Amino acid sequence: MSAGPHAAARETGPYEPVFVGATLERLREILSRYPVKQAALLPALWLVQQARGWISDRNMAEVGEVLGLTPAYVKGVVTFYTMYHQHPVGKHFVQVCTTSPCNVCGAENVVKAFLEHTRCGELGATSPDGNWTVVEVECLGACGFATPVLIDDDFVDGVTVEMVPELVKKYR
Ligand code: FES
């Protein structure tokens, strides 16, 4: 049986803490803006994702230790928000809305075009060159602009199959 695209979501070897050096400085700066350190959970998780590209169980344990929260609590938050990656992803993360209104306008074909042109092959998998991961998401709040796509932090509306090769070239 195939292990699937997320099989690498476990770190092995000695753990390298995230909150050292410049990342620790950044965390301290963030903590100074909150009345209690636990309230800084979301930005602390962002720092981890920026530093490592995804958030492993061991990263969650470190965040919990630093903020005085249990690993289970941290995991509950990470798993609640789809913006946090629980497995390694490509350099560029593509999110395509495939909820019904976009789907009737051709979103499935836009997804297929991204999977083909990025060479990801399947949803959630990372392309062989490590550059891309493509996922489907629920409504992005731009139902009148099908098909809306998020490429990293960039919102692109009205994406058609024909536009996909150019977009992939632009971000390569
Ligand atoms: S259904 Fe696609 S943005 Fe709302």
9 has pLDDT over 90: no
Rounded average pLDDT over 94-123: 96
4 has pLDDT over 50: no
162 has pLDDT over 50: yes
Residues with C-beta less than 6 Å from any ligand 1 atom: 97, 99, 101-102, 139-143, 148
Instruction: State the distance from the centre of ligand 1 to the C-alpha of 152, rounded, in angstroms.
Output: 18
Which atom, in ligand 1's list, is nearest to the CA of 145? 3
Give Cβ neighbours of residue 15 (< 8 Å, ≥ 6 apart): 58, 62
Cα angle value 150/17/64 (rounded, 5°): 75
Which of 100, 105, 140, 159 gets mutated to test ligand 1 (max ligand atoms within 8 A of its CB)?
140
Give Cβ neighbours of residue 45 (< 8 Å, ≥ 6 apart): 55, 63, 74, 77, 78, 84
Which atom, in ligand 1's list, is nearest to the CA of 107? 2
- pTM recorded for the entire structure: 0.78
Provide the mean pLDDT of the chain: 92
Q: 12 falls in which pLDDT band (50, 70, 90)?
A: confident
Rounded average pLDDT over 46-65: 95
Report the percent of the chain where pLDDT is more than 90: 88
Instruction: State the distance from the centre of ligand 1 to the C-alpha of 144, rounded, in angstroms.
Output: 7
Instruction: State the distance from the centre of ligand 1 to the C-alpha of 109, rounded, in angstroms.
Output: 15
Rounded average pLDDT over 100-127: 96
What's the CA gap between 133 and 85, in Å, rounded?
11
Which atom, in ligand 1's list, is nearest to the CA of 100? 1
Q: 7 falls in which pLDDT band (50, 70, 90)?
A: very low
Q: 82 falls in which pLDDT band (50, 70, 90)?
A: confident
- Burial class from Cβ neighbours inside 10 Å (0-12, 13-18, 19+) for residue 95 reads buried
Cα angle value 127/129/19 (rounded, 5°): 90
